[in-house]
Amino acid sequence: MRSFILTALVCLPLLTNAALNGPCTANGVPGACLATSTCSGGGGTSVSGFCPTDPADVKCCTKTCGNGGQCRITSTCTTGNTQSGLCPGPSDFKCCLPASGCTPPSVNTATIALIKKSEGFVSKPAPDPIGLPTVGYGHLCQTSGCSEVPYSFPLTESTATSLLHSDLVSFQNCIARDIVDGVRLNDNQYGALVSWAFNVGCANAGSSTLITRLNNGETPNTVASEELPKWNKAGGAVLPGLVTRRANEVALFKTASSVIAHPPPC
């Protein structure tokens, strides 16, 4: 049975509307509202429902790029480290890279285990606790029937794990991008934050008090202990599954490790 965990937390709006060529956020991942042909021609993924005021063929285009980057409108790239020529659409839709320019690492096995336990395994697309269609370990479907998933249904635990690793790239990128390089995090701290971002979305994580406090130089373990438990609501109600997940993320965050994951090693 699927646990009471959300892929996209509803403490803040899930939809960010935008005009053609303007910024959008699709399920927590930044992008730009582009014609689907422009998006696919540049290697991006078009996500329906996030540019509702535009024509039917204009959708939120998302794409990972470069070494740990995400295509986004340059005015929203907090690191200021952008690269041209890697993203479809307008000239100000560029690859936003981590400040260090290095590729964020994949999360460790402890993080994968935490996410799997929190999300639960679903072999075929099915509604999550607030009705959003998900499959595997918390993959939020981008298209009807989750047609974007490159594996046949029902998923096996192996193919679901591969899908999870692929999904996590965007969230590894946004945690590395939003946290300044002066903040040193070990692989457990980094993994706990990636798990949190996977659950609440990059946009919510990036604008959070948690990230602000880390970037202001406060003690990471204190910040995580105080801020992560606040993210326990969906639809205005506290969910026991989210309370448990946040507690597990805090415990992982506070687990000592000598492996440094942030700033990303080159």
Q: What is the pLDDT of residues 143-195, one digit of tens each?
A: 888 999 999 999 999 999 999 999 999 999 999 989 998 999 999 999 999 99
34: Cβ contacts below 8 Å, ≥ 6 apart = 20, 21, 44, 46, 58, 59, 61, 88, 89, 93
* CA–CA distance, 189 with 194 (Å, rounded to integer): 9
pTM of the model: 0.72
| Beta-bridge partners for 32 | 23, 61
List 119, 148, 157, 226, catalytic entry: 119
* Contact (Cβ atoms closer than 8 angstroms) between residue 242 and residue 232: yes
- Dig out the tokens for 197 from the structure: 């971002």
Residue 186, CA atoms < 13 Å, CB-side half-sphere: 11
Q: Could you tell me the CA-to-CA distances from 253 to 53, 71, 121, 221 in Å, in that order?
A: 41, 28, 24, 7
Cis omega before residue 154 (within 30°)?
Answer: yes
What pLDDT, on a 0 to 100 scale, did the predictor assign at position 145? 86
Q: For residue 93, report the phi and psi dihedrals to the nearest 5 degrees.
A: -100, 95
Nearest to 120 by CA among 258, 3, 204: 3
* Contact (Cβ atoms closer than 8 angstroms) between residue 65 and residue 44: no
* Contact (Cβ atoms closer than 8 angstroms) between residue 25 and residue 62: no
Strand ranges (E), 128-253: 133-136, 139-140, 185-186, 233-234, 237-238
192: Cβ contacts below 8 Å, ≥ 6 apart = 111, 114, 224, 228, 249, 250, 252, 253
User: Residue 201: what residue type?
Assistant: G
Cis omega before residue 127 (within 30°)?
Answer: no
Q: What is the pLDDT of residues 17-35, one digit of tens each?
A: 468 889 988 877 889 999 9
- pLDDT tens, per residue, the chain with 266 residues: 233 334 333 333 333 446 888 998 887 788 999 999 999 999 999 988 888 887 889 999 999 888 778 999 998 887 788 888 899 999 999 998 877 667 899 999 999 999 999 999 999 999 877 778 899 999 999 888 899 999 999 999 999 999 999 999 999 999 998 999 899 999 999 999 999 999 999 999 999 999 999 999 999 999 999 999 999 998 889 999 999 999 999 999 999 999 999 998 87
Examine the residue annotation and report whether 119 is marked as an active-site residue of this protein.
yes
